[in-house]
Amino acid sequence: MSKKNDTLENKQRGFGVETFVFLIILIGALCALGSVMGVGPMFKTIMQTACSLLLETVLYIVSVCCIMGAIGSLMAEFGVVALAEKVLSPLMRPLFGMPGASSLGVVTTYLSDNPAAVALAEDAKTAPYFKKYQIPALCNLGTTFGMGIIVTAFMIGLGSEYVPAVCVGLVGTVFGGVVSTRLFLLLSKRHYIKEGTWEEMQQTAVAFEKADAPAVKADEAVTTAKKSVFSRAMDAMLEGGKLGWEIGFATTPGVLCICTVIMMLTFGPSMVDGVATYTGAAYEGVAVLPMLGDLIAPVTNVLFGFKDGAAIAFPITALGAVGAAMGMTPALIESGSVGPNEIAVFTAIGITWSGYLSTHISIMDALHARKLIPQALITHTIAGLAAGVFAHYLFLLVG
């Protein structure tokens, strides 16, 4: 009873034990950095790094998202997405254990973002192709390919010498998707059997009702059908570009906040006249992650072929924000920590995970499968690692 009273009292006060724990961690971290870098250079580096990321990385990512969004929308408008869905459909059941209709989720998430897969469960035309137990697996399947076109375009934009590596990474992504979806279906089946609902879950799925979905009026549909090819192209391009713009700018907090911290934990001081000095320049730091990477180098070298401990920063960041992970890639290349093999691994892990820790729970909730959230997170974590390992060894084979 006293614990409940303490909790209620903390809520009414607005602060509690966690407040003091947070302050201890925050002040401790700043003191630790400041003792190495100096307080002035530390704060200057934080601001300079964030500014550099905003101007040199965020705006580039936004541009890529905007252009790729427009291209994706044009492909949807003129039937290319439908064609891709038709081509991929026969591969879905043997590879992923999912009905052919799920290929639409692969295409749409690759062209946009993770939550696009939820639309299949909300569409009365596509939902009946699924069994009930397959609907939650759309979370892992869709997330595997989320932001795929953006990551692909970004990595190719780093240099033409990385094109083969990116292609290898895409194959690794497919492998990661197979692992993620198959493992999740296996664990979810065990869950339903244990729960005693397996027979019910093998029934045909019914589309989820979406209360706030606007109805399409008949006259609006006729108007759309009567549009000229030029009007359709312009509308699709502008709407797709707008969606890409929104996705791109949605990555800004992740890139600036997460990437700034990761950068300061990845790189060391600047060299001035051959002497390591903290000047307050962008991308200076205490180089903790490379030391961690060196400690686990025997593992990461075998699994991913990482030659430099700093490369571990990408997969760690991609867990929560693939945009931030992309943002640090140019600096890793410039420092010599990353080469074509790492780009292949980064592409595979980046697309497969695509910040799933920040989206998985909300997607599973939208799919009415909260009970399966632990299974979804565990299997997708394994899948990202599997995608990276597969990409590494495939790159060794074809490179």
State the chain's mean pLDDT as an integer.
Answer: 86
In a domain, 4, yes or no: no
In a domain, 15, yes or no: no
Q: How confident is the model at residue 210 (pLDDT cuts 50, 70, 90)?
A: low
Residues 6+ apart with CB under 8 A from 23: none
Q: What is the rounded CA–CA span in Å between residue 50 and residue 30?
A: 17
Contact 256, 327 (CB under 8 A): no
**Can you tell me the mean pLDDT for 47-69?**
85
**Can you tell me the mean pLDDT for 218-241?**
73
Burial of 52 (0-12, 13-18, 19+ CB in 10 A): middle
In a domain, 10, yes or no: no
Residue 215 confidence (pLDDT): 47
- Which two three-digit tokens encode residue 184? 């999740």
Q: What is the dihedral of CA 216, 218, 224, 225, to 10 degrees?
A: 130
**Can you tell me the mean pLDDT for 213-222?**
47
Tens of pLDDT, residue by residue over 314-325, are: 998 898 788 888
In a domain, 20, yes or no: no
Tens of pLDDT, residue by residue over 100-111, are: 888 888 988 898
Residues 6+ apart with CB under 8 A from 148: 109, 110, 111, 170, 173, 351, 354
- Domain span at residue 258 reads 34-398
Whether 300 shows a pLDDT value over 70: the answer reads yes
In a domain, 11, yes or no: no
Q: What is the rounded CA–CA span in Å between residue 263 and residue 47?
A: 12
In a domain, 22, yes or no: no
Contact 265, 285 (CB under 8 A): yes
Q: What is the rounded CA–CA span in Å between residue 360 and residue 367?
A: 10
**Can you tell me the mean pLDDT for 237-253?**
81
In a domain, 26, yes or no: no
- Which two three-digit tokens encode residue 30? 């700043």
Whether 68 shows a pLDDT value over 90: the answer reads no
- Higher local confidence (pLDDT), 4 or 299: 299
Contact 139, 188 (CB under 8 A): no
Q: What is the rounded CA–CA span in Å between residue 17 and residue 15?
A: 7
Secondary structure class of 113 (helix, strand, coil): coil
Q: What is the rounded CA–CA span in Å between residue 209 and residue 353?
A: 28
Residue 80 confidence (pLDDT): 80
Q: What is the rounded CA–CA span in Å between residue 225 and residue 232?
A: 9
**Can you tell me the mean pLDDT for 181-200?**
94
What pTM value is reported for the model? 0.80
Burial of 216 (0-12, 13-18, 19+ CB in 10 A): exposed
Q: What is the dihedral of CA 226, 230, 234, 240, to 10 degrees?
A: 70
In a domain, 183, yes or no: yes
How many domains would you assign to the chain?
A: 1
SS3 of 301-359: HHHHCCCCHHHHHHHHHHCCCHHHHHHHHHHHHHCCCCCHHHHHHHHHHHHHHCCHHHC
